[in-house]
Chain A
Amino acid sequence: MTQHLLSLLIALPLAGALAVAFTRREAESLQKALGIAVSGLGFLLSLLLVSGFRDVASLQFVENVDWIPNWGIRYFVGIDGLSLWLVVLASFLTPLALLGSWTQIHARVREFVVFMLLLEAGMIGVFVAQDLFLFYVFWEAMLVPMYFLIGIWGYERRVYAAVKFFLYTFAGSVLMLVAFLVLYRTTGMGSLSIPELARTPVDPALQTWLFLGCALAFAIKVPMWPFHTWLPDAHVEAPTAGSVILAAVLLKMGGYGFLRIAIPLFPDAARRFAPWIGALAVIGILYGALVSLVQPDLKKLVAYSSVSHLGFVMLGIASFTTIGLVGAVYQMLNHGISTGALFFLVGMLYERRHTRLISEFGGLRAVVPWYFATFLLISLSSIAVPGFNGFVGEFLILLGAWPVDPRLVVLAAIGVVLAAGYVLWMVKRVFYGEVAKAENRGMRDLSARESFVLVPLVALALLMGVASPLFTRRIEPAADALVRQVHLHTAAAATRAARAAAPADAAGVRR
């Protein structure tokens, strides 16, 4: 079974979606339960990936068969250390998101579950695809369920946010498609296999354009400053499950895209643009943090904090050091867990009070102690307190980036401080002080279902903080291989350039 495990992980939610689509409209509990069961089973299967994974750089669980032979397009899936945990993350969060929205989604439950399962299939597909065409198919197809999730079950400005989300990401991706096509034609191999293309040198001048085409798509998805404007709208208007998946998994596709496609395929250009990416990343860190500081709305605050956190991820990627890359991948997971949990928590609060304004709360510490405890732990994880997962990620990133450009690291460290500022200040205003509003007095604490959603996330945040090698040793070989490949490649390009120059010099001397 393990040789088809990845396909199974994609097919299972698809089959589940189909099954749910044919249930009776009124059977809402059945639909929810079916969705949770299917995605839960998917998560259990994804654990087989972890247990069967060998800590080497090569692709594993590979399936590679002809798909559209006319164009040399293959159904080629496989995972390495860069994608393993992201696949697990996606299959871990989908059942939680479904469970977390059990009482939030009342209308059109059937469609909701169908779209969530389709989304899961698309996300896993993006992380396992090793053929550019297949990657693009999942990358784009996944927009559609997310668009529906925001547009149907979102808040007041949902339609605007959904359309903006779709157009922004679609606009970014189409140029990536052109880049793929140009690459496909210029290499002349008639293949879109990512590992094969990564071994083929591409003319550096052309690389620049192709890299920019891909980088735009990924930068919008990350989102990197200044391409982030779709994110606050989408996050804030999406229903809780949508925000969770959007923040925890969808944004990771941007960083992952850089690691899987933009960098290995166009290493020279990637190296050339690294300082720019690093600079934009740091601007994002600071900008996201500063904007978060002044948000009156909890959900917006969490949304802007994502811009800041993902700046760290991009800084790690731009460092082109093994430590930095490992940190970047790790930080993606951390952000998935802590921000995912924060969106759950904010959603639960909204369900109780139908508002997300910080000023509406205060003194909740005494009213909902368990909720408070969870919120605090997740906040600590989010601001990278040692002992929590966030610390490991940010530390590795800063460590990796230091030898490249200490100035960036210093500025990014200011972002860490600011993060502590906006999160703790928010915690203070929501949980401490007097219970000012009468409505807040009777607020109920976490239900068993809600605890069931949150406890695994808190546990993971702690586990990943104290036992990070469990995770990083799976990431490291692949990250290391990528770094080596890039450096080797640029070295080779330099040698080629030198050789090309040498005969001319020799001729000049002779003359």
Chain B
Amino acid sequence: MSGTVDLQPAYPAILVAVTAVAVLLTQAFAGKGRTAPFSALSLAGLAAALLSLVLLERAPGAVMGGALTADRFSLFLQVVILAVAALAVLFSPQYLRSLRLERGEYYALLLFSAVGMMGLVSSLELVSIFVALEIMSIALYGLAGMPRARPASQESALKYFITGSFSSAFLLYGIALLYGVCGTTSVEEIARKLPLTTGPASLMAVLGTALLLVGFGFKVASVPFHMWAPDVYEGAPTPVTAFMAAGVKVAAFGALLRVFDAALPSLADRWQPIVAWLAIATMVVGNLAALAQSGLKRMLAYSSIAHAGYLLTALVAAPRIAGEAMLYYLVAYAAVNLGAFGVISALSRDGREPLTYRDLAGLAQRRPALAAALALYMVSLTGIPATAGFVGKFYVFTAAVTGNWVALAIVGVSMSVVSAYYYLGVVVSMYMRDPDGEDTWAAVSPASAFALAVTAGVTVVFGIWPTPVLNLAREAARSLL
């Protein structure tokens, strides 16, 4: 390795990190209790990072010291992560006002977490994956517990912290075992050396893979490592939940895909059946548990568990198409979840937000546009055509069938039917129940309205005209192999 390190692949993340520091400083100089346009500053930083990604696209394949890469895969997912962060920032001011919590630290933590996510999807090496994961997670622990007066948030933060640390330990152990076998933590090197191992070493490699799977399983909230998700999602401030639901999934699945498809393909025979069973368990448990929820955020939490199952289905399937399918699905999933949590956040006022199906009764008559948007997200989550969610599921199940995992596809579609019941529950409340009492929810702020319009637009446009995203996803997935 030469003395100079090509920093290019890290520029976007550095820009976001610098913005985070700037936000912190602004808070410090603004003085205690004063607010400043933190969200505008954050958005500017995210936009700058996006611009740098576009510029990076001209120098594809740049590598920073074997640790970070700017291949198409990482660029694609970093764009998604920046968009997710920007939308979460757009939802935040209104929610924070409702909680009287307009502080710079919130935005700084959100941006730091985004830095971690960006690192996670561009890491070429297991240790940097671990470091990025920690950057992402630690910032999120803080974000989840931000409303200090709310016990639910405290519980959320603590639970997330404990299970998160626990899962990090698994991941680290897995990395250590793989390092022990291969003598390297580089994804490429592992892929090269792993097929050559024999005897006890190969057993160690399998064990390491299993531990990695557990660690990632926690992060993506796949069954049986999902217990934390409903409580954490419910207790965290809603824009943070949106950010977690969308961003963490995108980042963690990105890293998972890179590690398993690029580093561990030689062990595919071993991990594929396990992942298949995890996928089945995740789809079944997630959907059935979501059926039983009366709380909106909890229902969406279980729904996001269920969707982790669909994404795992893609991982099991034929290697090349799996990457594409997963990337597309992540985009569709992120847009819809941001939107759904965004609606809840946009209605929050004076620390209250719609928590149950009942709270949404008659929304269609009072807020037709908002209700239509939420109905659209529900339809997309169910996987009804003319939405991005359908194209995503079509893609994932095509991948499953291509890989001769027809049973997975059948479980997947059957569980979609189950999911229709609880997603429709939201629609029933909004459209088919009469409103009770006065409309005490907040007027939707322009920023939230804009963000909702973007997510709804993405859901419809990518559902009807998915080709451009499909092409990008295909190129991105190819750069991985």
Contact = CB atoms under 8 A, between A and B. Distances in A.
Interface of A: 67-71, 108, 111, 133, 136-138, 140-141, 143-144, 147-148, 151-152, 158-159, 162-163, 166-167, 170-171, 174-175, 177-178, 181-182, 184-185
Contact of B402 (A144, A162, A185): A185
B470 A68 contact: yes
A152 B431 CA distance: 7
B406 A137 contact: no
Given A108-B365, A166-B424, A148 B398 contact: no
Interface stretch (B15-23, B182-190, B413-421, B441-449): B413-421
Contacts of A178: 397, 401, 406, 409-410, 413
Contacts of A138: 385
Given A141-B386, A178-B401, A148 B431 contact: yes
Given A68-B466, A181-B398, A185-B401, A141 B384 contact: yes
A162 B409 contact: no
Interface string B406-445: 1001100110110011001000100110000000000000
> Lowest 4 A-B CB distances belong to which pairs?
A174-B413, A137-B385, A181-B401, A171-B417
A143 B387 CA distance: 14
A384 B180 CA distance: 82
Nearest to A108: B365
A177 B397 contact: yes
23 contacts: A67-B467, A70-B471, A70-B474, A71-B470, A136-B385, A137-B386, A141-B386, A147-B424, A148-B431, A151-B431, A151-B432, A152-B432, A159-B428, A159-B432, A163-B421, A174-B413, A174-B417, A175-B410, A177-B394, A178-B406, A178-B413, A181-B397, A185-B398
Nearest to B391: A68
B467 A174 contact: no
A140 B432 contact: no
Nearest to A25: B368
A177 B396 CA distance: 12
Interface string B373-403: 0000001001011100010001001100110
A166 B420 contact: yes
Interface in B11-66: none
B131 to A, nearest CB: 36
Contacts of B410: 175, 178
A67 B463 CA distance: 12
A171 B364 CA distance: 27
Contact of A175 (B382, B413, B431, B467): B413
A107 to B, nearest CB: 9
Interface SS, A side: helix
B409 A144 contact: no
Given A151-B428, A177-B397, A185-B401, A69 B467 contact: yes
Contacts of B467: 67-70
Contacts of B386: 137, 141
A151 B424 CA distance: 11
A143 B427 CA distance: 14
A28 to B, nearest CB: 15
A71 B396 CA distance: 13
B363 to A, nearest CB: 13
B457 to A, nearest CB: 15
Nearest to A154: B432
A249 B114 CA distance: 51
A148 B432 CA distance: 8
A403 to B, nearest CB: 38
A161 to B, nearest CB: 11
Contacts of B409: 178, 181
Nearest to A209: B406
A171 B382 CA distance: 12
Interface in B69-120: none
A174 B470 contact: no
A158 B416 contact: no
Contacts of A185: 398, 401-402
Nearest to B372: A21
A170 B384 CA distance: 9
A158 B406 contact: no
Contacts of A163: 421, 424, 428
Contacts of A158: 432
Nearest to A107: B365
A185 B428 CA distance: 37
Given A171-B417, A178-B409, A185-B402, 7 more contacts: A70-B467, A111-B364, A147-B424, A148-B431, A163-B421, A166-B420, A184-B401
